[in-house]
A and B are shown apart, each in its own frame.
Chain A
Amino acid sequence: MKQRRLLSRLFNFAVFIALEIAALQMLTHNAALQRVWVARSAHLFMGKVWGASQGVRSYFSLSETNRELSRENFLLMQELELARESLRDAKTESQDSLSRPGFSMVAAEVVKISRNKQHNYLILNRGYKDGVQEKSGIITPKGVVGIVDAVSENHAYAFSFQNSDISISARLGSEGGSGLLVWDGVRSNGAILKEIPLQYRYQKGDTVYTSGHSLLFPPDIPLGVAGESKVVNGATNEIAITLFQDFSAIRYVSIVHNNSFDEIEQFER
């Protein structure tokens, strides 16, 4: 009974549409204005339908596009690192020094990230199976993200830079003084560069880079820009830094490991 009623409704609807189309057809055949109007409406409708379907298709392919971009980004970073390394080699060779060891890189995706604690962490989708090792740095083209602390077969657990226990060695400007960069504990893109000797001059807006003094990160990765400063204990400057990296938008990262990490660390023991 219900099915019959439904069928009858569908049939009525079909007849309704057919009658409306017939009326519209007659209208467009007999009036030029209405013909133009119907044609324009039909074009607009088709344009909207095609536009919407294209939008939906693009939306669902965004994930794949992101992955491809991240892969491309990773390859570019690798190339950049190689270029930097050869530049450093050329410099050091000219200075009759020993060449610096390189860094190996692994592309990874952030599986989980905490941002609202004082000791934040990240979990990445790469583990020792992929060549990830403890005490590796995590970077993006916009700066430093964290340090790998523990590695399982398929995942890596890392301390986020937004962690009050983490500090990284950073340099102010291309030739400026080095200090320790720590999270300011408040803003998602705020940091403080500590222990900059007073004799080093700098200006607001100067870029802060990784210094290369730490074994974890390659040098010259841009981290952020300098802001206000204050003198601490009359001996050093403390400078507020606005980081380039927005921690709320991290998805793809690169894990970098210093190939000579163990060798150098043995000297320190």
Chain B
Amino acid sequence: MRKKTFWIAYIFLLLVQLIISNYFRFTPYIMLSILPVMVLCISTRLDTLWTMLIAFATGMTVDLLSEGLLGLNALALVPVAFFRNPIIQLIFGKEIFARKEDFTLRSSGFAQVGLALLLAQALFLVLYIWADGAGMRPFSFNLYRFLASLGAGFLLSLLTLNVLVTDSRE
């Protein structure tokens, strides 16, 4: 049941991302994306291979249906899926895999979850901004864009997290 809810929420958030990508472009310095948190929250019971394929499909959907470059979101999102397990293991420990549990804000705490979100968001943004700039934009622009997008994306991801992950005690 919970599994089904997750995927419904996932598709809903994908639509939200499409709206963000098409209509919420206020400044070139901020690139809003909730895709990294969506991939990070995919159940740990699903192995890396499937997570990567889902991430690729998600990225491609956003690329196809928004005013962007085809392949750009997919390029940046697949590494988040590939490094998802190492990030979770690094921050939450191996036990989370042994217990076959998913992290939540309540069970793992804000600091740990926040750090995981930051890492995933940073990895995604580094690749996205690097590939989007194609070596043509100055480093300072890329840096400001990264920092502004990381801050904005982090706040948006925290909101998204509550939609995707619900504590079993709730």
Which A residues contact B (CB, under 8 angstroms)? Answer: 8, 11-13, 15-16, 19-20, 22-27, 29-31, 33-34, 36-37, 40-41
Residues of chain A contacted by B71 (CB below 8 angstroms)? 22-27, 30
Q: What residue in chain B is nearest A32 (Cβ atoms)? A: B134
Would B52 and A34 count as touching, CB distance under 8 A? no
Known: A16-B52, A20-B75, A41-B135. 5 other contacts (CB 8 A): A12-B47, A12-B52, A15-B52, A27-B71, A29-B70
**A27 to B60 alpha-carbon distance, docked (Å):** 11
Please tell me if B78 contacts chain A, counting CB pairs below 8 Å. Answer: yes
Would A27 and B52 count as touching, CB distance under 8 A? no
Given contacts A19-B74, A23-B56, A23-B74, whether A31 and B135 have CB atoms under 8 Å apart is no
Within 8 A of A (CB), among B63-83: 63, 69-72, 74-75, 78-79, 82
Would A24 and B75 count as touching, CB distance under 8 A? yes
**A19 to B70 alpha-carbon distance, docked (Å):** 13
Which B residues contact A (CB, under 8 angstroms)? Answer: 47-49, 52-53, 56, 59-60, 63, 69-72, 74-75, 78-79, 82, 131, 134-136
Tell me whether chain B's interface is mostly helix, strand or loop, or mixed.
helix
Residues of chain B contacted by A22 (CB below 8 angstroms)? 56, 71, 74
Q: List 7 A-B contacts (CB under 8 A).
A: A12-B47, A12-B52, A15-B53, A23-B56, A26-B74, A29-B70, A30-B69
Would A19 and B69 count as touching, CB distance under 8 A? no
| Distance to closest chain A CB from B46 (angstroms) | 13
| Distance to closest chain B CB from A74 (angstroms) | 53
Given contacts A15-B52, A19-B78, whether A26 and B70 have CB atoms under 8 Å apart is yes
> Which residue of A12, A23, A33, A40 is within 8 Å of B48 (Cβ)?
A12
**A22 to B49 alpha-carbon distance, docked (Å):** 16
Would B75 and A37 count as touching, CB distance under 8 A? no
Would B48 and A20 count as touching, CB distance under 8 A? no
Given contacts A23-B56, A40-B135, whether A16 and B69 have CB atoms under 8 Å apart is no
Would B82 and A31 count as touching, CB distance under 8 A? no
Residues of chain B contacted by A34 (CB below 8 angstroms)? 69, 131, 134
Given contacts A19-B56, A36-B134, A37-B134, whether A27 and B70 have CB atoms under 8 Å apart is yes
Would B49 and A27 count as touching, CB distance under 8 A? no
Residues of chain A contacted by B74 (CB below 8 angstroms)? 19, 22-23, 26
Given contacts A15-B49, A34-B69, whether A20 and B78 have CB atoms under 8 Å apart is yes
Q: What residue in chain A is nearest B72 (Cβ atoms)? A: A27
Would B48 and A30 count as touching, CB distance under 8 A? no
- Pairs of residues from A and B, 10 with the lowest C-beta to C-beta distance, nearest first: A26-B71, A37-B134, A27-B71, A23-B75, A23-B74, A23-B71, A30-B70, A33-B134, A16-B82, A19-B78
Q: What residue in chain B is nearest A12 (Cβ atoms)? A: B48
**A40 to B134 alpha-carbon distance, docked (Å):** 10
Q: What residue in chain B is nearest A13 (Cβ atoms)? A: B82
Residues of chain B contacted by A27 (CB below 8 angstroms)? 69-72, 75, 131
